[in-house]
Amino acid sequence: MKKIIVPIDFSEHSEYALETAAVLAKKYDAEILALHMLELSNALISNAENVQQEETVFYLKLAEKRFQDFLDKAYLKDIKVTPLVKHFKVFSEVSEVAKEHGADLIVMGSHGASGLKEVLVGSNTEKVVRHSNIPVLVIKQNPILTDFENVIFASDFSEEAIKPYLNASRMFKVLDAKMHLVYVNLPDNRFRSSVEIEKRVASFLKAAEGNIDKMKEVAYVNDYSIEKGVLNYSNVIGADLVAVATHGRTGLAHFFEGSISEDIANHSTLPVMTFKI
């Protein structure tokens, strides 16, 4: 891991993300790209009048000064931090910055005490998650522990889940974290027998890994909803992080064959990392 992007909006939640990124940067000798999106109107940017241009420069200088003060943190000492101020109007363009700089991870803070339900629906974080081709780590509170030793990766073990699974495997290998695979079986029309689940998992692992060596590492959990199964299992194993797969077109809306898994993030007190399908 060489480069970590942290979008900054000067909130305490973006500071949580910045502090988390700092821990990771120190551990892996990575650079932090601190990104502030200056949302100027098109009229202000494109108007050729001198007054408008002067106003634009004023806002840019003001943002740069505030940004410099925000980055004056003791925990950033000895870390290479590159501040970036962009004129973008929407956070979905964070993915362009990530591609341009070859970033490995985006770390963002979640607004709202109730979790990601508001954040992942029609918000800046949702836009980043939707458009990002690299993993997005969403931090919900002041980081206490950032050593991700035990990570849950919940999957429906479908063919389209192979890509995020492989990306997650690579990421958690870098983070030196043990990835616990879990399948949640529900008592509705998606209920599967033990034999059906094992066949599905075996087929998945054969396609993804070329073997079924990890069959014994997959946990099968019975519960009334995906989110309850995932979160209950995270408590059982003492997980530090929950990883989920996301569709680019709809954020988390179609995770697990159409279930609304925003609730996983909404009710989880753990950090959540997303991997695009």
Q: What is the percent of the chain with per-residue pLDDT over 90, rounded to a whole number?
A: 40
Supply the pTM of this predicted model. 0.82
Residues paired with residue 32 on neighbouring β-strands, in sequence order: 4, 81
pLDDT band at 277 (very low <50, low <70, confident <90, very high): confident
pLDDT band at 6 (very low <50, low <70, confident <90, very high): very high
**Residue-level pLDDT at 67:** 82
Which helix H or strand E contains 275, and what residues bound it?
strand 272-276
Neighbours of 203 (CB within 10 A): 14
**Residue-level pLDDT at 55:** 65
**Residue-level pLDDT at 92:** 63
Q: Where are the domains of the chain?
A: 1-141, 147-277
pLDDT band at 50 (very low <50, low <70, confident <90, very high): low
**Parallel/antiparallel/unpaired status of strands 136-139 and 272-276:** antiparallel
Q: Tell the CATH topology of 1-141.
A: Rossmann fold (3.40.50)
For 211-251, write each residue's pLDDT tens digit: 999 999 899 999 988 888 888 999 999 999 999 887 655 54
Q: What is the DSSP letter of 238?
A: T
**Residue-level pLDDT at 122:** 39
DSSP H helices in 91-209 = 94-101, 124-131, 162-174, 194-209
**Residue 117: is its pLDDT beyond 50?**
no
- For the record, the structure tokens of 250 come out as 């709809």
CATH of region 147-277, choose from 3.30.70.270, 3.40.50.620, 3.20.20.60, 1.10.645.10: 3.40.50.620
C-alpha 10: how far from chain center: 19
**Residue 82: is its pLDDT beyond 70?**
yes
Sign of the C-alpha dihedral computed for residues 256, 262, 265 and 267 taken in this order? negative
**Residue 268: is its pLDDT beyond 60?**
yes
Dist. CA 180–CA 37, nearest whole Å: 36
Are 1-141 and 147-277 in the same CATH fold?
yes
Dist. CA 74–CA 235, nearest whole Å: 33
**Residue-level pLDDT at 10:** 83
